[in-house]
Amino acid sequence: MKPKKVIELSRLLNPTDPKWAKDEQWGATIPEEEIRIEPYIFVHDRCMCEWIRLWSHAGTHIEAPYHGYLVKSDVTIGDVPIETFVGEGLSIDMSFVGQEPDMAKKFERYERFSVSGPMVTREHIKQYEKENNVEIKKGDIVFFYTNMNIPDIPVISGDAAGYLVEKGVKLVGTNDDTIIYSFMAHLNLLQAGIPLVEMLTNLDKLGKGRVLIVALPLPIKGIGGSPARVFAITEWEK
C-alpha cells in the first residue's frame, strides 16, 4: 500500500517571513528568538551549513510528561517510545459547544486563560462520538479543533482530559487558535504519561473518519518538548 493523500498538520517555521514573531506565542519570552538561523559555508567541502537557535516549543510542537513541572516526571521527549507518535486517530470538531452564555463565566475564564469560551466536558466528547458514529479507542491519537476565533474559543476541561485518559488514548493535540487545554487538562494528560501536541493546523481537512497520524518530535534527551512534523494519511492506493 502507498499513501495517496497526505495532509500537513504542522505549521511552517519561517523566520525569513517579515510577519514572523509579530504575534507573541504563549510562553516565548522573546518571540524573535523562537528560531534563529545563522548560515555559514563549511569551507572543507564548500557546503552550506547552519547554526540553529531553536525554542523547544516553537511552532507545532510536542510536550512530554517532563514538561509538566507539577507532574514530577523524568520522561523527556527523547524518552517517549516512537510508537506513541504513530497510529490511528480522529480529528474532532468541537464547534457545536458554541459560545459561553454566562457573562460572569466568560470574564472569569478570560482572566484565567485569556479566552472566554465554554469548558469542553466529557459529555461533549461523548455527544460527538454518538452523533458522528465514531468511537475513541484505546491507543488512539485524538486532535481537537473548532471553527471559533479568539477570544471566544473553548477550553478543554480536566474532566474531558480524564475521559481521554480513561479511554486509553496515547496522544492528544489541539490547534490552539480555536481551542486550548485548561491547566487541569494539561496536567491530567501529562500525569497519565500522554504527550500533548500544540499549534496544529488543517485539522478540518481530515474529515470525521479514522486516519493514520504521524507526529514526530526531535528525539532529544533532557528536554520537555520539541518542534515536530505532523501529518495524516487519509487515502491509500491499493
What are the tens digits of pLDDT across the range 32-75?
A: 778 888 988 988 888 999 999 888 998 899 999 999 988 989 99
The pLDDT of residue 102 is 79
Residue 133 has pLDDT above 90, yes or no: yes
pLDDT band at 103 (very low <50, low <70, confident <90, very high): confident
Task: Report the distance separating Cα 180 and Cα 113, nearest Å.
Answer: 9
pLDDT band at 26 (very low <50, low <70, confident <90, very high): low
What are the tens digits of pLDDT across the range 204-234?
A: 999 999 999 999 999 999 999 999 999 999 9
How far is C-alpha 19 from the geometric centre of its chain's CA atoms?
22
Of 142, 170, 203, 174, the C-alpha closest to 9 is: 203
DSSP states of 53-80: EE-TTSSSEEE-GGG-GGGT----TTTS
What are the tens digits of pLDDT across the range 158-200?
A: 999 999 999 999 999 999 999 999 999 999 999 999 999 999 9
